[in-house]
Amino acid sequence: MVRGVRIAGVGSYAPERILSNEDLAQLVNTNDEWITSRTGMKRRHIAAADQATSDLAIEAGRRALARAGLSACEIDAFVVATVTPDYPFPATACLVANGLGAPGKAAFDIGIACSGFVYGLTVASGLVRSGVFRRVMLIGAEALSKITNYTDRSTCVLFGDGAGAVILEASEQNCFLGTSLGADGSKPEVLFQPAGGSRMPASTQTIEENLHSIHMSGKEVFKFAVSKMVDSALTALGEASLSPDDMTYLIPHQANLRIIDSVTKYLKVPAEKVVVNIQEYGNTSSASIPLALAELDASGKLKEGDVIVFVAFGGGLSWGAVAWRWAA
């Protein structure tokens, strides 16, 4: 049985505490002009000491439920895309289902860094379309500040915390138009958290050498990001025999404004079709796309039939895009 899937509700949450470019200039040798011109970022939201990823995800999930007019017990499965789980195990999704008041439901995490939301959208839509579940809540949630080294100016200016949730629901209409996912694991060290896994378990040395934080070769990531985002967006649209001209909105992963501008240029998309909120949140990895979608939804601009392309890249290296038709 193959049926349709739609998004029944969107919600997001970002912690209250703000870390501005000026704040960062107090921590490392940087300044507002460098950060703004190289990344487009102005502020990031930072989780409180007692806030973990599941806390952000639960609040985003609550808001998505309210927007959809549903209760948590009407959701059949919970999927959390994150690289900053509360614990290596159990899955953060288990804690989220419990926190939302739906214990006993299926729950699992997806760990593919910043591509997590587009991978999750593909997987969760597949579960609904194949009839396995009627409703799936997908949440992109990150507390990246917990794995950011605030003495390394080349990474600490980039990352922030937040969560965005969508509720996917079986429908007569099919909003899932096409997908394109990929990964290349030949150079994991281009963007990774070196220690704490089975290759380099935690030790006093890994802590002393700050190996539990994000390590990145920014230039290498930048180079691959643009071409992979362009290719995957075109392939996802092509699956539905659509072209960039048919797109109402492009919602790219918010990693760097210059990357977004290049992708926009290659796809020849007018700036007003591109959803950008990087100035407010920085890079929130798998949360960035649903955070931007929630803002677009709240703006009241989304209309029945709008074609949205979600496109991302990140650690893996990984990349992907989903073409989606909005149904109110």
Contact set with ligand ACO (CB under 6 A):
30, 34-35, 38-39, 113-114, 153-154, 157, 191, 216, 218-219, 221-222, 225, 255-256, 283, 285, 314-315
Whose Cβ is closer to ligand ACO: residue 33's or residue 245's?
Answer: 33
Would you say 247 or 255 has its CB closer to ligand ACO?
255
Find out whether 137 and 63 touch, Cβ atoms under 8 Å: no
Cα 204 to Cα 201, 207, 210, 285: the distances in Å are 10, 5, 10, 28
Q: Kindly write down the DSSP assignment for every residue of 124-138, as one continuous string.
A: HHHHHHTTS-SEEEE
CB 248 within 8 A of CB 124: no
Q: Please tell me whether residue 193 adopts helix, strand or coil conformation.
A: coil
Q: What is the spatial distance between Cα 233 and Cα 273, in angstroms, rounded to a whole number? A: 14
Instruction: Tell me, yes or no, if 215 is annotated catalytic.
Output: no
From 94, 114, 156, 175, the catalytic residue? 114
The b-or-e profile of 51-84 (16+ CB within 10 A means b, else e) is: bbbbbbbbbbbbbbbebbebebebbbbbbbbbbb
Q: Does 85 sit behind a cis peptide bond, omega within 30 degrees of 0 on the bond before it?
A: no
Q: How far is the CB of 245 from ligand ACO (least distance, A)?
A: 27
Instruction: Tell me whether residue 114 is one of the annotated catalytic residues.
Output: yes
Query: Measured from the CB atom, is 79 or 263 closer to ligand ACO?
Result: 263
Q: Is 174 marked active-site?
A: no
Q: Cβ contacts of residue 281 below 8 Å, gap of 6+?
A: 14, 43, 44, 45, 160, 162, 254, 288, 291
| Beta pairing, strands 17-20 & 215-216 | unpaired
Residue nearer to ligand ACO on the CB measure, 244 or 252: 252
**Alpha helix ranges (H) inside 251-305:** 257-267, 278-281, 288-298
The Cα–Cα gap between 90 and 64 comes to 24
Query: Residue with the closest Cβ to ligand ACO?
Result: 218
Check 45, 94, 156, 253 and give the catalytic one.
253
Q: How far is the CB of 44 from ligand ACO (least distance, A)?
A: 13
Q: How far is the CB of 69 from ligand ACO (least distance, A)?
A: 34
Task: State which residue, 76 or 86, has the beta carbon closest to ligand ACO.
Answer: 86
Q: State the minimum distance, in angstroms, from the CB of residue 191 to ligand ACO.
A: 5
Q: Which is nearer to ligand ACO, 53 or 102 (CB)?
A: 53
Rounded Cα distance, 72 and 139, in Å: 13
Compute the least distance from the CB of residue 226 to ligand ACO, in Å. Answer: 10
Of 136 and 311, nearer to ligand ACO (C-beta) is 311
Q: How far is the CB of 217 from ligand ACO (least distance, A)?
A: 8
**Minimal distance in Å, beta carbon 184 to ligand ACO?**
13
Dihedral, CA of residue 254, residue 280, residue 92 and residue 113, to nearest 10: 20
d(CA 288, CA 281): 8
Tokens of 205: 């040395």
Active site residues: 114, 253, 283
